[in-house]
Chains A and B, each alone.
Chain A
Amino acid sequence: MSTFTLYAKNLRALRSLEWSPSGVSLLVGANGAGKSTALQALKFLRLAVDRDAAEAVNLAFGGYFDLRNRVAAEHAWIEIGIRIGNLDLRLRLVSVQGLTKSGEMTLHDGPTELFRGAAGRSQIAFLSPLDPAVAAFMNTILKMGIFHDPDISSLRGGSNIAHTQVLDSRGTNAITMLRGWFQRRPDRWRYDFVLTGLRAAFPKLITDLDFVEAGNTIAAQVYRPGSEMPAHLGSEANGVLTMLVLLCDLAAAEKGGIVAIDEPENSLHPYAIRLFVRLADQLARRNDLTVVLTTHSPVLLDAFNDTPEQIYVLDGMTEPAPVRLSEFKNPEWLRQFRLGELYADDGIVSNDDENVRG
Chain B
Amino acid sequence: MKTSVGDTVKRIRFVVTGDLERKAIAASISALFPQTASDGKPVEWLRAQKVPAATTHRLTTSGPPSGTMKALARRVIAEAAEGEDGSPADLVICSGIV
Contacts and interface: CB of A to CB of B under 8 A. Distances in A.
Contacts of B22: 354-355
Interface string A332-358: 110111000100011100001011011
A346 B74 contact: no
Contacts of B51: 345, 347
B50 A329 contact: no
B81 A354 contact: no
Contact of A346 (B52, B77, B85): B52
A112 interface: no
Given A336-B74, A341-B71, A345-B71, A357 B47 contact: yes
Nearest to A330: B86
Interface in A264-286: none
A358 B82 contact: no
Contacts of B78: 333, 336-337
B53 interface: yes
A345 B19 CA distance: 13
A325 to B, nearest CB: 12
Contact of A355 (B50, B53, B77, B81): B50
A341 B75 CA distance: 11
Given A341-B71, A354-B23, A332 B82 contact: yes
Interface residues of B, number: 22
B62 to A, nearest CB: 25
Interface string A313-340: 0000000000000000110110111000
B75 A347 contact: yes
B83 interface: yes
Interface in B6-62: 19, 22-23, 46-47, 49-53
Contact of B81 (A329, A336, A357, A358): A336
Contacts of B84: 329-330, 333, 358
Contact of B50 (A330, A335, A336, A346): A346
A118 to B, nearest CB: 48
A333 B52 contact: no
A93 B19 CA distance: 41
A333 B82 contact: yes
A76 to B, nearest CB: 32
A170 B8 CA distance: 56
Contacts of A352: 19
Contacts of A357: 47
A358 B86 CA distance: 10
B22 to A, nearest CB: 6
B85 A358 contact: yes
Nearest to A332: B82
Interface string B68-93: 00010011011101111110000000
A213 to B, nearest CB: 51
B74 A337 contact: yes
A92 to B, nearest CB: 37
Interface centre among B47, B51, B81, B82 (most CB of A within 10 A): B82
A337 B51 CA distance: 13
20 contacts: A329-B85, A330-B82, A330-B83, A330-B86, A332-B82, A333-B78, A333-B82, A333-B86, A335-B82, A336-B77, A336-B78, A345-B51, A345-B52, A345-B53, A345-B75, A346-B50, A347-B49, A352-B19, A357-B47, A358-B46
Interface of B: 19, 22-23, 46-47, 49-53, 71, 74-75, 77-79, 81-86
Given A332-B82, A336-B81, 4 more contacts: A329-B85, A333-B82, A336-B82, A355-B49
A-B pairs, 3 with minimum CB distance: A336-B78, A358-B84, A333-B82
Interface of A: 329-330, 332-333, 335-337, 341, 345-347, 352, 354-355, 357-358
